[in-house]
Each structure stands twice: as C-alpha cells, then as structure tokens.
Amino acid sequence: MLKKGSGTTEQGEITAFLGKGTEFKGVLSFEGTIRVDGKVEGEVVSKDTLIAGDGAFLQGEITVGTIISSGKIVGNINANQKVHILAPGVVQGNIRTPKLIIEEGVTFDGKCEMAGEKKAVEQKVVSMTDR
C-alpha cells in the first residue's frame, strides 16, 4: 500500500529501504516500517511492518506484525496482525496470522492457520470445560 511518491504507507513512514540489487544474509531485526526490493536470506523479526516489493525475494522465517508483499517469499510467515499478498506475489510456505488478504493473481503454495481465531476458540473451549 505504498502511496506513490510520498514515502509513506498505510502503516506509517518507511524507516529503512533495501533497494534492488541489495542482498542481505542473516537475521534482519527492525522497528518501524521497512521496504525490501532486494534479496533477503535468513530470519526477519519485528513487531512492526515489512513491505516486500515486486522485485523482492525473501527466503527464511518471517515473524512480523504486518507484512505486505508483491514479491517472492520462500519460507513460513508468522504475522500477529495481518498478511496482505498482492499480485504478482508468490508465497511458498505456511502462513499464520489472524487476518489474511490474498489478491487474485497471487501464487500461494502452503497451509494457512488463522491464529487469532483459533486462540479465541481454544479459550472458549477451555472455559466451558472448567464448569
């Protein structure tokens, strides 16, 4: 959801940018909103927002608050707020999130667990068995 030319997103101002041709290997940890248009191999960890552009390639475990992606992701995604995959995005891995948006034209090969919904159901079942 990048507003063209503004440098901001619906989540807030972009605090870091990894452009095309950039390669990063290891653990990427950040605060705020980061945009990736290059290649990231390893683990991505944040409670905030990750934006992956059309040219982005992310390989590894992703644990964030929100992810908005139109790039290619090979690995599992855990988002405690939202996952939004835009065309022509590709996800090869499992997704765990309470809110999932997948647009037409996206390729998704994996399983999805709606984490927030399941926790609420489990808590309800536990409270009913305590009676």
**86-124 pLDDT, tens digit each:** 999 999 999 999 999 999 999 999 999 996 654 544 444
Q: How confident is the model at residue 13, as a pLDDT?
A: 87
- Which candidate, 40, 39, 51, 44, places its Cα nearest to that of 7? 51
DSSP state of 123: H
CB atoms closer than 10 angstroms to residue 4: 5
Which residue ranges of the chain lie beneath pLDDT 50? Answer: 1-9, 118, 120-129, 131
Phi-psi region of 120 (alpha: psi -120 to 50; beta: other; left: phi over 0): alpha
